[in-house]
Homo-oligomer: A and B are copies of this chain.
Amino acid sequence: MLTQTPVCCPVLESPLTDEEAESTARVFRALADPARVKLLSLVAANPDGEMCVCGLTEPLGLSQPTVSHHLKVLVDAGLLHREKRGTWAWFRVNHDAIAAASAALR
């Protein structure tokens, strides 16, 4: 259960408050696992810009529940967008959130 949407704050400009540091670290924590980094790159690299779980399980070499878990972490962090269409769940990269994370390090 997510209580608030994570927001990335500029890290190098001025000392962050506890809340800002917590919120920023939350986003980077979502990027702190190789499986999730790979998931992001797989979804982003797909020509259609979206993929379903069924297309992600095999290239990751992890079980379906594990992939589902990692996708949830990315969605909760705001880095992926999930859309359920019929039985399938389609994921797209949230480029705004990624850009915010990138900008936080400049």
Using CB atoms and an 8 Å cutoff, list the residues of chain A in contact with chain B.
11-16, 18, 21-22, 24-25, 28-29, 31-38, 40-42, 44-45, 59, 93, 98-99, 101-106
Contact = CB atoms under 8 A, between A and B. Distances in A.
Main secondary structure of the interface of A (DSSP, over half): helix
A99 B18 CA distance: 24
Given A102-B105, A106-B102, A12 B40 contact: yes
Given A15-B45, A28-B31, A28-B32, A38 B21 contact: yes
Contacts of A15: 38, 41-42, 45, 59
A41 B12 contact: yes
A96 to B, nearest CB: 12
Contacts of A33: 25, 29
A48 to B, nearest CB: 14
Contact of A21 (B14, B37, B98, B105): B37
B98 A14 contact: no
